Homo-oligomer: A and B are copies of this chain.
Amino acid sequence: VVLTNGDVDHVAGLLSLRESQPFAIYGTRSVQRAIAESPIFGVVSTNMVPRVTVEPGSTVSLPGGLACEIFMVPGKVPLYQEGDEVEVGLETDATVGLRISAGDARCYYVPGCASITPALRDRLRGADLVLFDGTLFRDDEMIREGLGSKTGRRMGHVSMSGPEGAMAGLDGLGIGRKVFIHINNTNPVLIDGSPERRQVEAAGWEIAHDGQEIAL
């Protein structure tokens, strides 16, 4: 298990992997600290499941001949670590992306990202596959729907649409396949045939679905 962030949607699944099953938990210093600070994660015994701290910029070898490089992306600390003031959009080791490669194939896994920087564009250029943060379609989507008071930006997620969004930002980079993941339940792209769904598909993006398998 390689953790890219300490938020609930990234780490709560560990609690379902507590049945004396051997694996390892990779994560940056920040993310390892986040789970270490909540004793409930002790149910995943460190005797059976070592916790391996990885530095951004380093590459770890994973079973199956995979190489996994960890790199920082703009983000924020987990919700439950927020204090009165929160800095969103900084590149720290609280939110990272992964470059996963085997042989000549390489894909990127970036489930949380607050903005598309020039450095990120350069990194993703020409990748075979990019799995990218598709939390919201519009930055104010949750507010409009009366379901919350936060913008996507405030939550550390770049939106799909708009001039600074993921579709515009990752256009023209010669990426083989682009797939939105980590999609919030307010996002209208989840509705087959919705105008927003057609818009992302027209821009060359796919919407991930449960159980999806991708061969490169």
Contact = CB atoms under 8 A, between A and B. Distances in A.
A42 B34 CA distance: 12
Interface stretch (A7-15, A192-200, A205-213): A7-15
Contact of A80 (B16, B34, B40): B40
Contacts of A80: 39-43
Interface string A71-85: 000000011110000
Nearest to A81: B39
A37 interface: yes
A147 B81 contact: no
A80 B8 CA distance: 18
A31 B166 CA distance: 43
Interface in A1-53: 8, 11-12, 15-16, 18, 20, 34, 37-43
B148 A8 contact: no
Nearest to A80: B42
A94 B80 CA distance: 25
A35 to B, nearest CB: 8
Given A39-B80, A40-B38, A148 B11 contact: no
A29 B65 CA distance: 49
Contact of A8 (B43, B78, B79): B43
Given A12-B12, A148-B20, A79 B43 contact: yes
Contacts of A16: 12
B8 A15 contact: yes
Contacts of A43: 8, 79-80
Contacts of A11: 40
Interface of A: 8, 11-12, 15-16, 18, 20, 34, 37-43, 78-81, 147-148
Given A20-B147, A37-B39, 10 more contacts: A11-B40, A12-B12, A20-B148, A34-B40, A37-B38, A38-B40, A38-B41, A39-B81, A43-B79, A43-B80
19 contacts: A8-B15, A8-B18, A8-B43, A11-B40, A12-B15, A12-B16, A12-B40, A20-B148, A34-B40, A37-B38, A37-B39, A38-B39, A38-B40, A38-B41, A39-B80, A40-B78, A40-B80, A43-B79, A43-B80
